[in-house]
Amino acid sequence: MSDTLPVVHTGTANLASVFAALRRAGVTPQDTLDAVVIEHAPRLVLPGVGAFGAAMQNLHEADLIEPLRRRLRAGRATFAICLGMQILCASSEETPGIEGLGLFDLPVTRFRNTPRIPQFGWAPVEVSPTTQGILCDGYAYFAHSYRLIEQPQGWRCAISEYGGPFVAALEKDGIVACQFHPELSGEWGHELICRWLEHTHND
């Protein structure tokens, strides 16, 4: 009997890879649009692929924006993936004029001065400060055209480089947000998911 883990059904997202990765990590993922679960569940996964505006629109239509904001303000354990991390920010160049969830009062912007857009593939990430935590150095799989550049204050930060440094992942207490796809980052990604599950167990 394994724990059930709610995963926000963001609509645009292809959840199969996230679900398979969570099963390999020993939990049973369950997609949900239930506002109570999404606000109060001890742990939550916020996945996302597709466009910033479409994702926020879907959350808006499901009346999930305020429950998610309250959850994040309360600091409940949350694992945000790819676009899931971007919508934690204030805004994105991808969809100007649309407000994000605003956990980070910072804008997401498009890559500049890079040979190829989107960035597809594996890139090294480095964490600072190097104190113990859920995130660690390694190679992560990225698929994105937009990214966060500024580091929010008070968060442990993983940095990667593409046309200059950008934020690959953030961590504080039980909240982890990754620009990369841990579910597609091989053994390293699997271990990251397992560490988050261990860290947030019985929180």
Partner 1 sequence: MATRRIIPCLDVSHGRVVKGVKFQGLRDAGCPVELSARYQEQGADEIVILDVSATPEGRGNQLDTVRKVREVLSIPLTVGGGIRKIEDASALLQAGADKVSMNTAAVFDPALLSAIAERFGRQCTVLAIDAAAKIGMEGWEVVVRSGTQRVGRDAIEWGKEGEERGAGEILLTSFDRDGTRSGYDLSQLRAFSQAVKLPIIASGGAHSPEHLLEALDAGADAVLAASIFHDGDWTVDALKVFLLSRGVEVRPPHTTQARLSTTTKNTDSSTHTTEGSQA
Strands ordered across the beta sheet of 146-148: 91-92, 107-110, 146-148
Residue 199 gets the label, from left (phi > 0), alpha (psi -120 to 50) or beta, of: alpha
Contact string (CB under 8 A) for partner 1, positions 43-72, x = contact = ------xxx---------------------
d(CA 20, CA 37): 21
Smallest distance, partner 1 to C-beta of residue 202, A = 26
Residue 171, interface with partner 1 (CB under 8 A)?
no
> Which of 105, 108, 33 lies closest to 65 in space, CA to CA?
33
Is 201:2 a contact under the CB 8 Å cutoff? no
Smallest distance, partner 1 to C-beta of residue 73, A = 29
**Which amino acid makes up residue 137?**
D
Contact string (CB under 8 A) for partner 1, positions 8-47, x = contact = ----x-x-xx--xx-xx-----------------------
Active site includes 198? no
Residue 118, interface with partner 1 (CB under 8 A)?
yes
Active site includes 181? yes
Smallest distance, partner 1 to C-beta of residue 150, A = 20
Among 60, 73, 186, 203, binds partner 1 (CB under 8 A): 186
Catalytic residues: 82, 181, 183
The residues binding partner 1 (CB under 8 A) are 12, 14, 16-17, 20-21, 23-24, 49-51, 114-124, 139, 141-145, 161-163, 181, 183-187, 189-190
